[in-house]
């Protein structure tokens, strides 16, 4: 680690997490407890056993990485359980001084009879809001000695799903049994976009973003264009998992067809060799123009170091992660966790990895932290967001003077 950036400083500074999946971030004791109550079979009912069998340090491939979601989603099928998981993820973030959090998840994975889209999203909101109230009434927050906690909810559409993944998807496939699968996928995305706008506008839920997740190869984002157009027309910001397992063209499509304001992962942004379109004659020029466009438009990239190392064998170590190139090209990049449970990580740990293995000095660290606050889909007005960002910067700089300049 840079000798002027200490672990204590990384722990104290105000942080954000703009890319964290709710169903990938449960506490293991909570998962075990809820599984017993709901009679969900786990391969082990001991934390050590689950760490050995399911939630590992290293995974052989993406399917193994994703296997744990079958267990976490299975216990998140009631309002009480979803609310508890949301509350605990907020508390866990608050304990490591994350002060702005955007939790993302697929509501349609939890819908069943008696548990509607509205109730799923309300349960998440209640859990997060409970943690917010508890933190923001503290004397240090009221006095300005600490930052208030703020959050937003990002809803995830899926590029691909099957009828076994939830009751909602099962029923949708049944109703649309004569439709092509890609039409079913697009219908689910559009229904999610419409419901999100309605719940934001009618009930004031802080639904700040619309996301697209899932396997990129063979499942292009353009299939979900209508849903993203609907979100775009109704002023919901967009983020797309893109360039995680596919090349620069996937990122380009996220920007042009989905109006993405941020890019999730963007790992293969610089991988010109992954361009497959015969229409691209000069691959290096294509990448250069794409990178410059993202940088100049201040389109933030949500960086997930540990999960990339666990799922992408092409990324051999942190030192070879494209975050280095992103910083060199002046991109707006923020450090995120992706999945706190599945990747066994925290925002502080991700920052420490970056500082230990990449050329990050104090200026670059400050840029990474501020990019998280500036790139957020803050649920308030632009004026309120500017005020909050300024508070965060002031707090960061005061800690810098106290801990690094002393």
Contact by Cβ (8 Å): 160, 212? no
Write the DSSP assignment of 286-355 as a string of letters: HHHHHHHHHHHTT-EEEE-HHHHHHH-TT--SGGGSTHHHHHHTT--EEE--B-TTTTT--HHHHHHHHH
376 HSE (CA, 13 A, CB side): 34
Give residue-wise pLDDT tens across range 195-241: 999 999 999 999 999 999 988 888 999 999 999 999 999 999 999 99
2 domain-assigned: no
Q: Residue 373: exposed, middle, or buried by beta-carbon count in 10 A (0-12, 13-18, 19+)?
A: buried
Give residue-wise pLDDT tens across range 259-317: 999 999 999 999 999 999 999 999 999 999 999 999 999 999 999 999 999 999 999 99
**The whole model's pTM is what?**
0.96
Query: Would you call 249 helix, strand, or coil by DSSP?
Result: helix
Q: Which of 83, 244, 249, 350 is catalytic?
A: 244
Give residue-wise pLDDT tens across range 105-117: 999 999 999 999 9
Domain count of the chain? 1
295 domain-assigned: yes
233 domain-assigned: yes
Tell me the CATH number at 129.
Answer: 3.20.20.140
Give residue-wise pLDDT tens across range 43-59: 999 999 999 999 999 99
pLDDT at 1 over 60: no
Query: What does residue 219 show for φ and ψ, rounded to 5 degrees?
Result: -130, 70
Q: Grade residue 3 by pLDDT with cuts at 50, 70 and 90.
A: low
72 domain-assigned: yes
Give residue-wise pLDDT tens across range 49-90: 999 999 999 998 888 998 999 999 999 999 999 999 999 999
Residue 140 known to be catalytic? no
Q: Grade residue 2 by pLDDT with cuts at 50, 70 and 90.
A: low
62 domain-assigned: yes
Q: Which domain holds residue 108?
A: 7-403
């Amino acid at each position: 680690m840079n000798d002027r950036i200490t672990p204590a400083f990384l722990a104290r500074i105000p942080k954000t997490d703009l890319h964290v999946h709710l169903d990938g971030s449960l506490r293991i004791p909570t998962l075990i407890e809820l599984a017993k109550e709901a009679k969900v079979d786990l391969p082990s009912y001991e934390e050590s056993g689950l760490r050995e069998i399911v939630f590992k340090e290293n995974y052989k491939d993406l399917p193994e990485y994703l296997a744990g979601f079958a267990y976490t989603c299975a216990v998140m099928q009631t309002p009480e359980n979803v609310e508890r998981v949301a509350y605990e993820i907020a508390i866990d973030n608050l304990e490591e001084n994350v002060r702005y959090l955007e939790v993302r998840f697929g509501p349609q994975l939890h819908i069943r009879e008696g548990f509607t889209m509205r109730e799923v999203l309300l349960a998440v909101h209640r859990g997060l809001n409970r943690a917010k109230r508890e933190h923001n009434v503290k004397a240090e927050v009221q006095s300005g000695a600490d930052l208030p906690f703020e959050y937003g909810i990002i809803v995830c559409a899926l590029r691909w799903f099957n009828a076994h993944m939830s009751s909602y998807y099962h029923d949708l496939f049944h109703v649309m049994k004569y439709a092509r699968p890609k039409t079913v996928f697009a219908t689910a995305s559009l229904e999610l976009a419409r419901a999100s706008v309605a719940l934001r506008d009618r009930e004031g839920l802080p639904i700040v973003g619309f996301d697209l997740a899932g396997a990129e190869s063979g499942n292009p984002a353009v299939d979900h264009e209508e849903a993203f157009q609907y979100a775009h027309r109704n002023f919901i910001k967009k983020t797309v998992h893109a360039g995680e397992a596919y090349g620069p063209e996937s990122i380009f499509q996220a920007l042009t067809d989905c109006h993405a304001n941020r890019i999730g992962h963007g790992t293969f942004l610089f991988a010109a060799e992954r361009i497959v379109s015969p229409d691209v004659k000069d691959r290096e020029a294509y990448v250069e123009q794409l990178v410059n466009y993202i940088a100049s438009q201040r389109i933030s990239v949500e960086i997930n170091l540990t999960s990339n190392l666990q799922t992408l064998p092409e990324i051999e170590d942190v030192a070879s992660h494209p975050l280095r190139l992103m910083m060199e090209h002046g991109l707006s990049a923020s450090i995120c966790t992706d999945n706190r449970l599945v990747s066994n990580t925290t925002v502080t740990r991700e920052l420490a990895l970056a500082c230990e293995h990449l050329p990050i000095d104090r200026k670059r660290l400050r840029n990474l932290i501020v990019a998280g606050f500036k790139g957020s889909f803050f649920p308030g007005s632009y004026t309120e967001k500017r005020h909050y960002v300024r508070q965060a910067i002031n707090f960061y700089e005061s800690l810098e003077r106290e801990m690094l300049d002393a």
